[in-house]
Chains A and B, each alone.
Chain A
Amino acid sequence: MPIEIPTLNVIALAPQIVVVVTALVVMALDISLTDKRVVGYVSLLGLAAAAVVTFALLGGPAQAIQQMAVSDGYALVLNLVFIVTAALAILVALGYLDERELQHGEYYALLLFSTAGMMLMAAATDLIVVFMGLEIMSVALYILAAFNHRQVGSGEAGMKYFILGAFASAFFLYGVALLYGATGSTNLHAIGEWFSPDRGNLGDPLALVGLGLLLIGFAFKVAAVPFQWWTPDVYHGAPTSVTAFMSVGAKAAGFAALVRILMVSFDQAFTLDWQLVLAVLAVLTMTVGNIAALAQKDVKRMLAYSSVAHAGYILVGVVPATMTGVKGVLFYLMAYAFMNIGAFAVIAVLEHRDAIGTALSDYAGLSTRKPFLALAMAVFMFSLTGIPPFVGFWGKLYVFRAAVEANMSWLAVVGVINSAISAFYYLSVVVQMYMRTPTDETAAAPALRLSGPVVVTLALALVATVVLGLWPTPLVNLTALGIFG
């Protein structure tokens, strides 16, 4: 057996490598620098470099590396989603961590590693690499969730997330093992080849159980019903800057890998056997998320349930397994990154040191105390509901259209009904801010301080939500590049 030194087409993983190298540089800087905020700005520079590399590759031919990963349009567009998410999350963290004396270099390093893991999941064309990306992302997120571990809630969040996440990873791995046993390969294209109609392997029970277990693993990661139980506690307990990051990033990464696996490997096998199950899951996820969110008195917890509901909306785009659906999902994820992180940025400002100040009543009369903050929050809430002319509306429109095109109009109808339900709780925040007078307690609370980075985050998210809502063409054009290579 001759040893062949493999030739590596490193270009295919260039954005990921840039992010990992930045993380290592951040770790090295952390040792020598006393002002850790500099570390945060260096991380932002690294993300900018990764974005430049991604743009340079975008539109060019798909580059594959050893049949393990590929940088096709799909992966590159998702890279942008992750980079935007990470950059906004770092901006939120710069102020948030300072106030809580949590400013450590490890935060930014772990966040960057996690981002690299997400990007790897989007680019992976082999189940082993998908798993690697999943684990890098998750392990970093476990630590980040427990970053404020001297506070009980944060430690609990990290522990819960870790235990349930490890459980989900085990399901995923079991699914990979069964798929390998059935098809003899972990490569997505090879599995797709194995399922091609002329091979007569459609409906193979072992592979289908394998896919089912994979779906369970992904459902955990994207917080879809019935695997959403961890979401409220973890999102509520984790530091808000982390919640902002993982509510978007982990969800996007989970969908990124799931969509690629369904489209590349399973295609017909999926539509034959699992499509209906996933459709039912989508309905349940939307409904359970929205109804549970209705009952919440805490905004952070409410947004946790709302993120479950949004996983359901995105699933509506995944279920048809068509290119229209894929584009809808990409659009939705990008839109969700801006509006959701924006909303969490507002929460981060209102939250006091001891994790109080996130109750709904704390938002009473915010419009008189901080008009800009209240306006931003209102826009994000409208956008999350899906009210035009904000970007959230277009996201929902595209995923529901994909369902209608695939003759699954009922799914779209359920989605619209759910959006109507969600309006109740999103608008109740707006009502609190604009139509209630501040209670004595909130009036007595320490003055809210808007640090520079947070203002930048809010401005960016606000501009993106409004401008892309009024003029979605650039984003539509971008998602049109999201094709599989």
Chain B
Amino acid sequence: MQGIIEYLVSLNLPLLTEGTARFLVLLVVASIVAVVAPASLIILTWLERKIIARIQDRIGPNRAGPFGLLQAVADMIKMFTKEDITPARADRIVYNIAPGLAVFSSVMSFAVIPFAPGFVGTRLNVGLLYIVAVGGLGTLAILMAGWSSNNKYSLLGAFRSVAMLLTYEIPMVMMLVIVAMAAGSMSLADIVDAQRSMWYAVSMPVVFLVFFFAGIAEVGRSPFDLIEAESEIIAGFHTEYSGIKFGMFMIGEYVHMFALSFFSAVLFFGGWHIPFMDVTALPAPWAAIIGLIVLLVKVFFFVFVMMWFRGTLPRFRIDQLLDFGWKFLVPLSLVLLIGVAFVVKLFSPGSSAGIPVPPGPLSGLGIAGEVVGLLVVNLAIAGLAMAVVSALARRSRNKVLRAISAVEPPAAVTAQSKP
């Protein structure tokens, strides 16, 4: 990026100082990201329909264009031309802002993603916090939409989604903290660099799984798609929306899912790094191109996994969902946080984010020691969690069994037959 700026300055055009050149380049890059991210909707919806169709033993869209590729375009046209309805007693201003905010919040999160070596939107040293902060705006959009529609189903949908988002934000943020601890930085580019030798998904598989599940819940996709459980609350918070505004919520959702895939790839699967090859060492344009391709392959893998989930898993019930969040993921992530902090300290190489600190007692074992240590701690905690859960499940099952066996059938019948 610096190269482009220097080139522009060397043209010596009027008004084109270093500052304006930087501004222009950033503007162009930002616009590309802001346009491409929503445009990914076209490819993503097509992919989703095809994959789900395959899982359900159907063919999927195949009329519009080759392989039905233009199906999404047809859908878009339909959506744009539909009537835009605002309910009579809705709060007009809030009702109209909400869809925009939904798109805004998911597109904004792309600002900090490191796409390829040297191509990072913003090298924000608080990138991880930024992700969480911007994600909160999405919650706000849902609340605004649900409330302003003046519809009970919308309101219930908004309640559900906010309860869920708040629940799953906690384990997600804690996993981000763990990543920041391991990498010694909150900048996403630094985190990618820190995975040069080993992906975090390998050394910390449980951390990744918790992050990914919480992420799916944040995005509101199956099996956590309670927000729009049709059979219970129609379409949830966007029940009243139609036409382009409904489309914007859909865009927001898909972009959010796309962003989650990016974050999974960047934070846990080494971003542009691939095993046994140093992508950044390639000559100038190739490093960026190969890096981007590597990243996109990983991203689409996660997109596929999420669609696969949707085609395979049934939906959670709201109480199961909240129980799973509060009673399983939150305690698990607290234990993980402490465990990983312990290991990181144990193998600390004597400097953290460039600041000299006392090296850990096992720092002599180097990066390999740390990887093994993290893996052991992760697996141990996972084993412990499983043991606790199965013990609890056995106890509650026994309780039910006792309750069933305690009931004497004739007594129950007579009790019922009384007027």
A residues with a Cβ closer than 8 A to B are 1-3, 5
- Min Cβ gap B185→A in Å is 16
Please report the C-alpha to C-alpha distance between residue A1 and residue B356 in the assembled complex, in whole angstroms. Answer: 8
What residues of A have a CB within 8 angstroms of the CB of B357 in the complex?
A: 3
Q: Is B355 an interface residue (CB 8 A)?
A: yes
Nearest-CB residue, chain B, relative to A1: B355
Nearest-CB residue, chain B, relative to A5: B358
What residues of A have a CB within 8 angstroms of the CB of B355 in the complex?
A: 1-3
6 smallest beta-carbon distances between A and B, as pairs: A3-B357, A3-B355, A2-B356, A1-B355, A2-B355, A3-B356
Nearest-CB residue, chain B, relative to A2: B356
Nearest-CB residue, chain A, relative to B352: A3
Please report the C-alpha to C-alpha distance between residue A1 and residue B351 in the assembled complex, in whole angstroms. Answer: 12
Please report the C-alpha to C-alpha distance between residue A1 and residue B357 in the assembled complex, in whole angstroms. Answer: 10
What residues of B have a CB within 8 angstroms of the CB of A1 in the complex?
A: 355
Please report the C-alpha to C-alpha distance between residue A2 and residue B358 in the assembled complex, in whole angstroms. Answer: 10
Please report the C-alpha to C-alpha distance between residue A1 and residue B352 in the assembled complex, in whole angstroms. Answer: 11
Please report the C-alpha to C-alpha distance between residue A5 and residue B352 in the assembled complex, in whole angstroms. Answer: 14
What residues of A have a CB within 8 angstroms of the CB of B358 in the complex?
A: 5
- Min Cβ gap A319→B in Å is 48
> Interface readout for B330-364 with A: 1 if CB under 8 Å, 0 if not?
00000000000000000000000001111000000
B residues with a Cβ closer than 8 A to A are 355-358
What residues of A have a CB within 8 angstroms of the CB of B356 in the complex?
A: 2-3
Nearest-CB residue, chain A, relative to B356: A2
Please report the C-alpha to C-alpha distance between residue A302 and residue B356 in the assembled complex, in whole angstroms. Answer: 63
- Min Cβ gap B236→A in Å is 33
- Min Cβ gap B298→A in Å is 35
7 sample A-B contacts, Cβ–Cβ < 8 Å, listed by A number = A1-B355, A2-B355, A2-B356, A3-B355, A3-B356, A3-B357, A5-B358
- Min Cβ gap A3→B in Å is 5
What residues of B have a CB within 8 angstroms of the CB of A3 in the complex?
A: 355-357
- Min Cβ gap A1→B in Å is 6
Which of A1, A2, A3, A5 has the largest number of chain B CB atoms within 10 A? A3
- Min Cβ gap B272→A in Å is 31
Please report the C-alpha to C-alpha distance between residue A5 and residue B356 in the assembled complex, in whole angstroms. Answer: 12
Nearest-CB residue, chain A, relative to B354: A1
- Min Cβ gap A214→B in Å is 32
Nearest-CB residue, chain A, relative to B357: A3
Please report the C-alpha to C-alpha distance between residue A316 and residue B355 in the assembled complex, in whole angstroms. Answer: 53
What residues of B have a CB within 8 angstroms of the CB of A2 in the complex?
A: 355-356
Please report the C-alpha to C-alpha distance between residue A192 and residue B355 in the assembled complex, in whole angstroms. Answer: 34
Please report the C-alpha to C-alpha distance between residue A3 and residue B356 in the assembled complex, in whole angstroms. Answer: 7
Nearest-CB residue, chain A, relative to B355: A3
What residues of B have a CB within 8 angstroms of the CB of A5 in the complex?
A: 358
Please report the C-alpha to C-alpha distance between residue A3 and residue B357 in the assembled complex, in whole angstroms. Answer: 6
Nearest-CB residue, chain A, relative to B351: A3
- Min Cβ gap B184→A in Å is 13
- Min Cβ gap A2→B in Å is 6
Please report the C-alpha to C-alpha distance between residue A2 and residue B370 in the assembled complex, in whole angstroms. Answer: 24
- Min Cβ gap B356→A in Å is 6
Please report the C-alpha to C-alpha distance between residue A332 and residue B356 in the assembled complex, in whole angstroms. Answer: 53
Please report the C-alpha to C-alpha distance between residue A5 and residue B358 in the assembled complex, in whole angstroms. Answer: 9
- Min Cβ gap B384→A in Å is 21
- Min Cβ gap B181→A in Å is 15
- Min Cβ gap B349→A in Å is 15
Please report the C-alpha to C-alpha distance between residue A2 and residue B355 in the assembled complex, in whole angstroms. Answer: 6
Please report the C-alpha to C-alpha distance between residue A1 and residue B355 in the assembled complex, in whole angstroms. Answer: 7
- Min Cβ gap B358→A in Å is 8
- Min Cβ gap B54→A in Å is 52
Please report the C-alpha to C-alpha distance between residue A3 and residue B359 in the assembled complex, in whole angstroms. Answer: 12
Please report the C-alpha to C-alpha distance between residue A105 and residue B355 in the assembled complex, in whole angstroms. Answer: 45
- Min Cβ gap B354→A in Å is 9
Please report the C-alpha to C-alpha distance between residue A3 and residue B345 in the assembled complex, in whole angstroms. Answer: 15
- Min Cβ gap B360→A in Å is 14
- Min Cβ gap A23→B in Å is 21
Please report the C-alpha to C-alpha distance between residue A180 and residue B355 in the assembled complex, in whole angstroms. Answer: 29
- Min Cβ gap B241→A in Å is 37
Please report the C-alpha to C-alpha distance between residue A3 and residue B352 in the assembled complex, in whole angstroms. Answer: 10
- Min Cβ gap A154→B in Å is 29
Please report the C-alpha to C-alpha distance between residue A303 and residue B358 in the assembled complex, in whole angstroms. Answer: 59
- Min Cβ gap B270→A in Å is 29
Please report the C-alpha to C-alpha distance between residue A3 and residue B355 in the assembled complex, in whole angstroms. Answer: 7
Please report the C-alpha to C-alpha distance between residue A386 and residue B189 in the assembled complex, in whole angstroms. Answer: 72
- Min Cβ gap A6→B in Å is 13
Please report the C-alpha to C-alpha distance between residue A2 and residue B353 in the assembled complex, in whole angstroms. Answer: 11
- Min Cβ gap A5→B in Å is 8
Please report the C-alpha to C-alpha distance between residue A2 and residue B357 in the assembled complex, in whole angstroms. Answer: 7
- Min Cβ gap A344→B in Å is 40
Please report the C-alpha to C-alpha distance between residue A22 and residue B356 in the assembled complex, in whole angstroms. Answer: 38
Please report the C-alpha to C-alpha distance between residue A5 and residue B345 in the assembled complex, in whole angstroms. Answer: 14
- Min Cβ gap B102→A in Å is 33
Please report the C-alpha to C-alpha distance between residue A103 and residue B358 in the assembled complex, in whole angstroms. Answer: 49
- Min Cβ gap B305→A in Å is 40
Please report the C-alpha to C-alpha distance between residue A2 and residue B356 in the assembled complex, in whole angstroms. Answer: 6
